[in-house]
A and B are shown apart, each in its own frame.
Chain A
Amino acid sequence: MTPHVPAATGQVWRKPPFIRNPWLRWALIIGALVYLVLALNSININPDRIARGMQRATRIFSAFLQPDFTSRWRDIQAGILESLTMTVVSTVAGVILSIPIGFGAARNLAPLPIYLFCRGIVTLSRTFQEVIIAIVFVVMFGFGPLAGVCTLTFATIGFLAKLLAEDIEEIDPAQMEAIRATGASFPQLISYAILPQVTPRLVGLSIYRFDINLRESAIVGIVGAGGIGSTLQTSFTRYDYDVSSAILIIIIILVMMTEVFSGVIRKRLQ
């Protein structure tokens, strides 16, 4: 910046704009405004329906203040248990599978065909939202928690293998060379030079993924893949909002508990 003397020249200092080039800045602003007008116009708002909905909203909110844990407790209990077991199994299976795929997706280790194959799996899994993957697995395995387990496992692979591969690509090559110089075989190279560098973060990410899987296990049930989601949706379609409220409160408490728990574990690891 050139040093100005504001008093002498009459110039006033202004905050530098976020985007320096004025043409680009104005083009972006005008483009964004045009888009906003077009997008807002394409929302169809039905005031009549919303007015009727407001009545329902008051009923929903009053039901939410008095959650009903007892009348459907057996369904809720079964759903929660299913969600939790799905989360445990799919996280473990996902971590086990994502380690070889993560190694395969690291450019500095894998030959090109393996690299492309593993990257393909990762991209496929990351592109589609869990629920869409669940639809396919439900078609394959039928309704039930197995479809949910496969869905969450597949989603875990996309998440963990990608981050693991990026970690491996960034490791310190000096240690790899040192281990190679001792005449180590490839498995020894992995276990003595690479794993020690990536394991702490891998464990942290796996625990973080456990949280995500718990949250997702609550919704894959909407397409029939097991867990608490189907109970929740049934309670909504039956207008049993006090039951929905109970389920939501349980989900929120469970997620908060695992989040605190995993935070403690991750802090201890670092």
Chain B
Amino acid sequence: MPVQSIQNSKIWQRYDHVTRLRHYAGWVASTIVVLICWQFISGATRWHFVLDAPEQLASFAGRMFPPEWAYMSQLWWPLWDTLNIATLGTLLGLILAFPISFLAARNTTPHFLIRSVALLIIVVSRSVNSLIWALLLVAILGPGLLAGIIAIALRSIGFIGKLFYESIEETSREPVEAIVATGASPFQVLSYSILPQVMPSFAGVSIFRWDINIREATVIGLVGAGGIGLNLNATVNALRWDQAGMIFIVIFGLVLMSEAVSAQVRKAII
């Protein structure tokens, strides 16, 4: 009973005794798990390195400011590369994800075996970060833009494909039936009844992924896959924090710009 009587007056309570005990036990158990995990982290940490963190931060900030503004002249080209990696990678991912999403959606898939293969592709692509894809592709294709573009595309397939097939599954049946009733071929059904329903969400998802990919494209250079990350890696290895500071500012500007563009486009679509 969620009503407890204290000194002969009944007091309403949200949960009864057993539920409260169960919640309490849950809290204690999860606290213990977190503490054990923290114990593990703290055991792997050299605390005397952590204790001088404020000094490290101060000297780090001191070396980063003022940033070397003149370094900007060398950053235009990597910036252009970063933009291209993100954009071309998103395009390639879009082209690959488009058919996969139709194969993965329950209402458009030709066969449930094909559906499970498509779902497996989507899950594998989503589980592996683009930086790991980049590691793999740099080993195969050599360092450069191409590895970066394909890495971004491979990671995007899972994201775009998942959101695409979910919106295909949410389409309404009536337009499909209406087009089928006119004697349309399966391909015509797809392009006249399903595509018009999902087009706005497709466009929104693509521009959203492009926005994320700009962010990812700034770091895949750390493993050699092109873009501004290459410069970041070089300046960090050379401890040129004034140049690294300039790169941080450029990345900040790039990401803010991409976010503004994607917000504008999504507002125009919806």
Residues of A near any B CB (own CB < 8 A): 15, 18, 35, 39-40, 42-46, 49-50, 52-54, 56-57, 60, 81-82, 84-86, 88-89, 92, 127-129, 131-132, 135-136, 139-142, 144-146, 149, 215-216, 218-219, 222-223, 226, 232-233, 236, 241, 244, 248, 251-252, 255-256, 259
Contact = CB atoms under 8 A, between A and B. Distances in A.
A40 B131 contact: no
Given A142-B49, A142-B50, A222-B222, A89 B251 contact: no
13 contacts: A18-B199, A39-B87, A50-B142, A85-B38, A86-B41, A92-B34, A127-B256, A139-B60, A222-B135, A244-B136, A251-B127, A252-B124, A259-B123
A56 B56 contact: no
A114 to B, nearest CB: 22
Nearest to B57: A140
Nearest to B258: A127
B135 A232 contact: yes
Contact of B142 (A53, A252, A256): A53
Interface residues of B, number: 55
Nearest to A40: B88
A131 B146 contact: no
Interface in B136-161: 136, 139-142, 144-146, 149
A35 B86 CA distance: 13
Contact of B80 (A42, A85, A146): A42
A60 B140 CA distance: 8
Given A43-B146, A81-B40, A131-B219, 18 more contacts: A15-B192, A53-B142, A85-B41, A88-B34, A132-B248, A140-B56, A140-B57, A144-B46, A145-B45, A146-B42, A146-B50, A219-B132, A222-B222, A232-B132, A244-B136, A248-B128, A252-B123, A252-B127
Interface of B: 33-34, 37-38, 40-42, 44-46, 49-50, 53, 56-57, 60, 80-81, 84, 87-88, 123-124, 126-129, 131-132, 135-136, 139-142, 144-146, 149, 192, 196, 199, 215-216, 218-219, 222-223, 232, 236, 248, 251-252, 255-256
Interface residues of A: mostly helix, strand, loop or mixed? helix
A15 B131 CA distance: 41
